[in-house]
Structure formats: C-alpha cells, structure tokens
Chains A and B, each alone.
Chain A
Amino acid sequence: MTAPERRHLETDVLVIGAGGAGMYAAIAAARRGARVLLVDRSLVGRSGATVMAQMTVAVALGHAGPDDPEAHLADTLAAGRGLCDATLAEILCCEAPARILEMDDWGVGWARDGDRLRQAMAPGHATARCVYVDFLSTGPAVSRTLRTRLHRHDAIRRVSDLRVTDLVTHDGRAIGAVARHLPTGDSVSIAAKATVIATGGLTRLYRRNSASANMGGDGYALALRAGAELVDMEFVQFFPIGHLAPRLIGMDPIMWDPFRYKLGGRLTNSEGREVTELYGVAEDGKYVATRDVATYAILKEVAAGRGSPHGGAYLSLEHVPDAELRAAFGPVIDRLAANGIDLTRMPVEVSPIAHYHMGGIAVDAEMQSGVEGLYAAGEAIGGPSGANRLSGNAITEALVFGERAGRFAADRAAAAALDWNQAAAELPMTRLVGNGAKGTGAANPAALIAELQGLMDRDVGALRGGDGLGRGLDRIRELRAELPSLRPAANGAFDPALADWFDLDDMTLVAEAVATAALAREESLGAHQREDYPLTDAAAPTRLRLRLADGGLELAREAA
C-alpha cells in the first residue's frame, strides 16, 4: 500500500458541494472572472438533493395567469409562519424569474405552450406558479443542465470524491479548507480567497428520509467549527406522504407527490376520514394542505390509534380510472405492478419522512456568513423559509442563492490576495490525519449512525416533547464525547469506516444543534410541533441562533 500523500491546491473561490446551489455558484463565480474549485464528496452534479427533486419549481412568471414576485413573497412569508428572514425571502422571490429564464436559455426544457412556460398549482400557493420539466424528473434535468454548463468554463476545476473535513480560518477570515481524497486517502489542503458552502441539508440525521445519503449536515458542522452562526435549526421539514408500505424497491419515497399534484387522491385514517380535514384543512380529493399541517395531522391520527397498520395514513387513488393513471404515469404504473401494487384496487400507506431543513447558516444579503470570506447557499443557509418552506421554493433557492453566493464570493476574491497560513491549518490538518489514532475497533461506526438516526426519528422528529428531547440530547452528547476514542485507524483508499467516523462526528454536532434549539423553543410553530407546548407563543416571534464556544453550543435569541 502506498503511503497517503499530502497535496496542496490554490483557487480564488472554493465551492463545497456540487448540487444545484454549488454548480450555479461555480458558474456565477467563473463568469465574474474567478478561478473556481468545485468539489463534492460524491460525484459532481449527481448527488445531493437537486438531482432527486421530482417536480415543482416556484417562480412568479405570470405565464398561467396574473402573478408577481410580491404575491409569491406573501405566500412564502405566510408558509413560514411569520419567521422568515424577510430580506432573504424577498431576494428569493424577486430574483427567481431571472434564474428560471436563464435555465430556460440553457435548455433545461421547462414544459411549455409556445412562448409561455406551464405553471402548476401547489399547496400553499395562491395561484398556479410552479414550473417543471415533467412530473417526475425536473431535478435530474436541472442537474444535467448545470453540469453541462460547468464544462463551458475553463476556469472551473471539478473534483469528485473530495470530503472537506474542516475549514481553515485566520484572523477571523475563511482562508480555505482541508479535505480527504476518498479514493486514495490522501490529505489535501486548499487555499481560497473565498469559500462557498453548498452542502445541502441534514436529512441523513433521520432514518426515514428523502434525500441522498451524503446529506448529513456536513456544511453546518463546518460552519460552526469555523465560528459562524446557525439559525432556525429546530425547523426540520417532514414530507407528509413519504412511502411507508408495502415495501418498494427502486422507487423514490416521495414519489406520491406528483400523483397528488396531478390526480389529487385521498389521504385517510383507518376510519376512512380525510386526515387533514380533521385538523382544519378540507382537501376534498385535492392537494392543498401545507406540509406542516399534513404532517401534524397524520402523526396525531397515528398517536390516537387511527393510523394504518404500519403507522401512517392511507393514500388512495382507487377512484381514478386505470386509463387516467396510465396516461399520467405509465412507466411508474408498470414499476408499481412489478412490486405487486395495483392503485386501482388498493391504497398505499404513507407517513412523514425527513425532507428538507429550513434552518442553517446565518447569512447576510450577499450570502456571507458571520465569518469574513465564508459564504453559503441553497439548503445550507437558514432564514428564507422561516418555520416552514413553501413547496416549490427549494430548487428556486438553490438557483437564486447559488448565483448570488458565487457572484459575491468572486467579487471578494477579486479584491483580496491569497493569504494561506500553514500554522492556521495545523489544527484542522491534525483532525484530518488523526495523529496516529488507533481506535478501539470495538464500535461499528455504521451501526452508531443507524442508532443516531433512530434516536432522531424517535426523540427529535416532527412531533417532539421536552422529555424526549432531553433524553435524546443526553445520548447525542454522550456519543459526541465518546467519538474521539472510537476513531478507526486510517486504512488507505476508500476507507468506509473512517468516512463514517467523520460523518458521525459532524452528524452528532448537528443533531445536538437541532435538539438544543427544539428544546429551547417552548411553543409550536410551523414544522416545530411540541406536544408539551401545543400553542404558538402570542409574543413577537423569536429567532434562535447557535454558535460553538469552547466545544459547546451557545444559544441566543433575537426578535424575528
């Protein structure tokens, strides 16, 4: 076996994460004249959340009827239950048309009628506002378009399989990062004039989730350790109708979303009653309840003993004629048949699964965090969605905030000199190479990740209470404290146990951030539902911010 090497790279703008936000950031920085290093822990443009998005992208184009960004903003703020960062939400809605039309120029293939893009209705929107490529593969089309576009810029260097383990800061400024090259086990340091975190969210903290396995909250942990603040970490969005039973293979668990967009369907409890209607939103076979409301309704019905056999709700399309099902979803109907499912004869069982994170890195309007030179974009930031994201806004924010982060990072890089400092990289490099860690070999890090996921599902899920949160927090902290002694000895090329250990180190820190904020917010609001505090606090909305101080999380409150 060859000994691991150390390598050093230099760039103007380092972009960490090559999903929708990261790829757009790279393109925006390059066309502003910057040299860009775009890295991903998996494959560039193939991992993360964007590639898995199925359908809708919200944008006030007014192609399907009167609409404007102010109306989109009003719906976004209402869905966010008064907690949105109004500046970021306004930027999102106002810049969305430019990004969606730029993607159109780049040939993404939005569904259209002549000059006008088709726009579909989605829950929480006052009008038909969501563009799409088709009902099942909008995300792959967006990813493919951006991936192709990257190739036009010689100034963008792409590197796959590079796992950034820490940022490097000096005098309060971000000056680069250190990373492990997974296929070789080599250590890499990267000097950068500006850094963009575009690592997506934290869905992997939960056992049942709808995103890629590499979304374990890395970016939040990187930001915390670099001295940046996180905001709104208690607000995890659960997708209400994640597939539960019968077991399926080769199907995305959020596959029922497009079915509901197109065909409605009925979401019922064990007594055949529409569950959202029991909690104040009559759907009447349509798809109108927002995600926080539908998630709450399903979980409360299950808790009351009126759930489906596997602990969810029934989704029924039995009233939709076979011909109509086939016309809408032909190939999917065949795949369902291969799994023994005939939608004309049986309902399926669905229940909430972790889908998206509203919280994240606190940034200003230029997408810069509290650490100079450190920017963030897409799901990695907190603020624009407040307590609950409006459906359709996720890809929009990847594109809008990705473009801004890349642009402002490039402008900073143009005005700054490379100021790499080897001494400042010492501590991050020591954590990366492990300083001769032998590990006990007694613990299986993959099993510990599974334990953490189970804990998050149970104690820090969509319905939480003070007792469970306290218990969960104790175990998370215990696990975090044990981790240094459980580090496996480095084992060279593509070492899965060591990769799990780094993930677990980040995941436990981020899990602690979610649980700490969830315990501190003693009210129910949007995606944060406390069984012991079922009402929304009547006082002015408060925002919770977290930072790392001496290894512990420090919580601060501010008026929203």
Chain B
Amino acid sequence: MSAPGASVARLRIRRQAPGEASRVDEFEVPFEAGLSLLDGLLWVRQNRDASLAIRYSCINANACKECVLRLDGKVVYACTARLREGPMTVEPLAGKRLIRDLVTDIVPPGEQL
C-alpha cells in the first residue's frame, strides 16, 4: 500500500460480470504527473486485480478507439484522459451492451461472429 500522505488516485470502478450484480470497487493507484487513466487501470490489473476487464490496443495514440469509457460521467478515451489525485469515477459506456466491467460491445455490426 501507499505510504500515508503519498499522492494517490482513487479509482472507483463500476464492475459487473455476466449474471452478477453490479458493484463499485475502489483502488488506490500511486499518482505521478504525466500518467493516463489507462496507465492507472493497467497498474490495477498488474498489482491488484488481473480480473478487471478493460479493452485497449494502441496504448496511447488514440488510433484504435477501443478504450472508450466514462470518467466522472463524461465519455473519454482512457489513453488520453489524465490520471488525477483524488477520486475518479470510472464506468462503462452507457449506450452500449455491457460485456464485462468496463468492456462494452463496440464491435461494428459487420464484424460480429
């Protein structure tokens, strides 16, 4: 855990697995300037909970558009949204079918199995 007083981002993440009830998990992520929200979510997967479902591909170039989600109610790309100190509410897109956690069905109609 972070030392007392150390700078942290508090990610409040809306999660739901198929067939389960929706819940909010909170994770403290060490904060540094110049980190993205995606960096924070990847830190959570590597250090706290690998079962957190997110999707991303290009990491930081805003080329793939896969990491689209809601931050504090606004639609953002996780790779271009800044991580901040303090609480951040992270939720899946509202208008798309939820698959798991922050992953919604963004596959175009012509590319479904």
Contact = CB atoms under 8 A, between A and B. Distances in A.
Given A46-B64, A494-B100, A213 B56 contact: yes
A188 interface: yes
B54 A249 contact: no
B64 A249 contact: no
A44 B113 CA distance: 12
Given A1-B18, A42-B66, A181-B113, A496 B51 contact: yes
Q: Which of A43, A247, A495 has the most CB of B within 10 A?
A: A43
Interface in A459-515: 491-497, 500
Contact of A447 (B47, B59, B79): B47
A46 B101 CA distance: 22
A85 B18 CA distance: 50
Interface string B26-48: 00000011111001001001110
Nearest to A246: B34
Given A246-B34, A248-B34, A253-B60, A447 B50 contact: yes
Contacts of A139: 63
Contact of A492 (B18, B77, B110): B18
Contacts of B2: none
A497 B50 contact: yes
Contact of B57 (A42, A162, A446): A42
A420 B108 CA distance: 30
B65 interface: yes
Contacts of A160: 107-108, 111-112
Given A46-B63, A140-B63, A251-B60, A7 B46 contact: no
B14 interface: no
Given A43-B111, A159-B113, A160-B111, A494 B63 contact: no
Contact of B113 (A51, A162, A445, A495): A162
Contacts of A496: 45, 50-54
Interface string B82-95: 10000000000000
Residues of B contacting A: mostly: loop
B36 A43 contact: no
A183 interface: yes
A43 B66 contact: yes
A494 B64 contact: no
Interface string A139-175: 1100000000001000000111110000000000000
A256 to B, nearest CB: 14
Interface in A5-32: 7
Q: Which of B17, B47, B56, B57 has the most CB of A within 10 A?
A: B57
A249 B81 CA distance: 8
A497 B63 contact: no
Q: How large is the interface on B (under 10, 10 to 19, 20 to 34, 35 or more residues)?
A: 35 or more
Nearest to A209: B59
A253 B61 CA distance: 8
B103 interface: yes
Contacts of B24: none
Interface string A243-278: 000111111110000000000000000000000000
B61 A491 contact: no
A151 B19 CA distance: 36
A494 B56 CA distance: 13
B37 to A, nearest CB: 9
Given A46-B57, A51-B58, A250 B51 contact: no
Contacts of B58: 47, 51-52, 212-213
A149 B82 CA distance: 36
A332 interface: no
A186 B99 CA distance: 14
Interface in A80-116: none
B18 A46 contact: no
B100 A46 contact: no
B62 interface: yes
A158 B51 contact: no
A450 B46 contact: yes
Given A496-B54, A497-B50, A51 B64 contact: yes
A2 B61 CA distance: 36
Contacts of A46: 57, 63-66
B7 interface: no
B9 to A, nearest CB: 13
A445 B50 contact: yes
Contacts of A7: 113
B105 interface: yes
Contacts of A339: 34
B55 interface: yes
A212 B57 CA distance: 5
B62 A493 contact: no
B45 A43 contact: no
Given A213-B57, A252-B61, A494-B55, A247 B107 contact: no
Given A42-B57, A446-B42, A493-B100, 12 more contacts: A7-B113, A158-B111, A160-B112, A161-B107, A161-B113, A212-B64, A213-B59, A249-B60, A249-B79, A252-B60, A444-B47, A492-B17
Interface of B: 17-19, 32-36, 39, 42, 45-47, 50-66, 77, 79-80, 82, 99-101, 103, 105-108, 110-113
Interface of A: 1-2, 7, 42-44, 46-47, 51-52, 139-140, 151, 158-162, 181, 183-184, 186, 188, 212-214, 246-253, 339, 444-447, 450, 491-497, 500
6 contacts: A162-B113, A246-B34, A250-B36, A339-B34, A444-B46, A493-B99
